[in-house]
A = this chain, B = another copy of it.
């Protein structure tokens, strides 16, 4: 294995080359043995479902557990659906219990039952106990794999207990409980190592333990860890019974996830990890949010001073009146273009910040994807707007005039497409030039898109109306 992490794009190419070679099985095995399972997890995203399963089948069970745990939802699904229950069970047994629980929660109920049925009873009980807690609560991220001791034990005895449970997930702290499992204190491994082995735990333990209730939101857990610089936090019930321990490595994931979630929600595109979702799905989650600027845009168009006595057909006959009518739609165009551009830009900025998007060949792929998504959004939102105009005008005049709605739809559609392209391209270009993409992603792109979309809209619509 290399000391520095590998470039996922280059890795994907090497894997594809190995897959196509005559002795694929051996080549692939040799290659994958050299690669960390975290890197394999990332690379899967770049492979076809068949290739994913091939790669997965070549690696050892332990690595399989890590890959399944770390990879994106789509790859996870594609692999698990084709896995026989026996292997899936082995993989689940390899995973830390808190993560095995998350995976079990994703399975269809009968599959879950089948997998659990073959497991040893102890693990089954542990997993079922963890599955009671919502995945985003303290109970959902805690592990049961910690070490406890009693107040009247000694430092030496407790250290021996650590040594006998050395594979436990939490070894840095030993939690002190009474006979009813009430949390009484905590001793760090540092204290155990640095003390006389005969000293009593009750004289060594810190009784001022910060703990968290099992049903607290994971965000609260993260905030406590951050505020108090903790490396692990015990999870208790209302009666202070120790139920488990949330560790900092899980909490690092939580902090990132919660920040991602807020980012995408503020941008109006709650997509999860964007580049790891299917394109159609990515367009679908963004469209509902864009109906908000459509609604406000129509309100503003309706408030705009237009000669209300005339029908659209009459208005269109005078060039000046026509420009005025089109101007009434500029707030709508601006709102949509700003919304689409912010969505695209935020996804790029956040993806680059957390390393999901690397500046390189994969940005071109991202740009292509965003343009396709922009096109899908442009078509849907354009059609919505065109239909509304058609119906309004139809009700007013009793006639169906297609020209104006079609022209407006085209103008807004092309504006949306450009906004999406600029929203993606500008932060990528900034990143390539070594500037912080977040600095341009907000007001700059919004203002830029406002102007370009409005001008595009006027030009395209006037062109169609003049030439029809």
Contacts and interface: CB of A to CB of B under 8 A. Distances in A.
Contacts of A371: none
Contact of A442 (B252, B265, B349, B353): B265
Contacts of A189: 171, 189
Nearest to A320: B305
Interface stretch (A106-114, A117-125, A327-335, A360-368): A327-335
Interface string A431-448: 000001011011110111
B438 A266 contact: yes
A353 B289 CA distance: 22
Interface residues of A, number: 96
Nearest to A345: B266
A163 B191 CA distance: 9
Interface in A326-354: 327-328, 330-331, 334-335, 338-339, 342, 345-346, 349-350, 353-354
Interface in A415-468: 436, 438-439, 441-444, 446-448, 450-451, 454-455, 458
B296 A448 contact: yes
Interface stretch (A56-64, A254-262, A385-393, A402-410): A254-262
A248 interface: yes
Interface string A47-88: 000000000000000000000000000000000000000000
Contacts of A324: 305, 324
A309 interface: no
A327 B305 contact: yes
Contacts of A334: 300, 331, 334-335
Contacts of A171: 189-190, 193
A423 to B, nearest CB: 12
A297 B443 CA distance: 12
Interface string A285-307: 00001101101110110011100
Given A443-B290, A448-B296, A249 B227 contact: no
Contacts of A436: 265
Given A228-B36, A353-B258, A331 B450 contact: yes
A244 interface: no
Contacts of A129: none
Nearest to A223: B355
A270 B436 CA distance: 12
A324 B306 CA distance: 9
A166 to B, nearest CB: 4
A132 interface: no
Contacts of A3: 208-211
Contacts of A266: 263, 266-267, 345-346, 349, 438, 441-442
Contact of A438 (B229, B262, B295): B262
Contact of A454 (B219, B220, B300): B300
Nearest to A299: B451
Given A219-B353, A252-B252, A454 B303 contact: yes
Contacts of A450: 293, 296-297, 300, 331, 335
Contact of A210 (B4, B210, B335, B339): B4
A330 B354 contact: no
A163 B253 CA distance: 32
A318 B355 CA distance: 58
A145 B203 CA distance: 27
Contacts of A330: 300, 304, 330-331
A193 B5 contact: no
Contacts of A349: 262, 266
Given A226-B252, A270-B439, 16 more contacts: A3-B209, A171-B190, A220-B355, A226-B354, A252-B252, A256-B259, A262-B350, A262-B438, A265-B441, A266-B266, A266-B349, A292-B446, A292-B447, A296-B451, A324-B324, A334-B334
